[in-house]
Amino acid sequence: MRRWLTTALLLAGASIQSAHAATLDEATEQLLVEAVEAAAAVDLYHARCRSDSSNRRTENLNKLLASRMRMTVLRVQDDVFPERNYRKVQERLQREFLETLRASGGCAGVKDSDLPAQLRARYDEKMKAIEALP
């Protein structure tokens, strides 16, 4: 009985999340995609150039999404991104960041540029926009 109840609750939770993702309007979906991309970019910069692989920004976004929208970053990557697969999304985001990093002269070139501040400002802007959602 207990196992059945646990399974039923897990399935109900998954269907609620999927239903919630299906009811998002296009502007909100776009905001979520941009927020995940911004968090990933800051985390990738810190992991690659500052040896900090804590993924703090993605985790903070995850907490905000869970509390405000009953979603997770992985759910956004699976349900809202064009790839519809979180692994493919993460691979693309990493590939795009590495291309940006190479074009900016690697970690040494980026540290002396405005890119870290731009990444952080974009992340902060998206977090505030999500916090402002009804």
Contacts of 56 (CB under 8 A, 6+ apart): 43, 46
Q: Has residue 14 got a pLDDT over 50?
A: no
- Give the whole-angstrom CA distance, residue 33 versus residue 74: 11
Task: Look at residue 21 in the predicted model and tell me its pLDDT.
Answer: 46
Would you give the DSSP letter of residue 83?
T
Helix spans in 23-114 (H): 26-49, 56-69, 73-79, 86-103, 106-111
Task: Look at residue 74 in the predicted model and tell me its pLDDT.
Answer: 96
**Cβ atoms 98, 40 nearer than 8 A:** no
- Give the whole-angstrom CA distance, residue 54 versus residue 58: 9
Count of Cβ atoms closer than 10 Å to residue 127 Cβ: 17
Give the pTM.
Answer: 0.81
Share of the chain above pLDDT 90, in %: 76
Residue whose tokens read 């990493």: 94
SS3 80: coil
Q: Has residue 120 got a pLDDT over 80?
A: yes
Would you give the DSSP letter of residue 72?
-
pLDDT single digits (tens) 33-65: 999 999 999 999 999 999 988 899 999 999 999
pLDDT single digits (tens) 73-116: 999 999 999 999 999 999 999 999 999 999 999 999 998 899 99
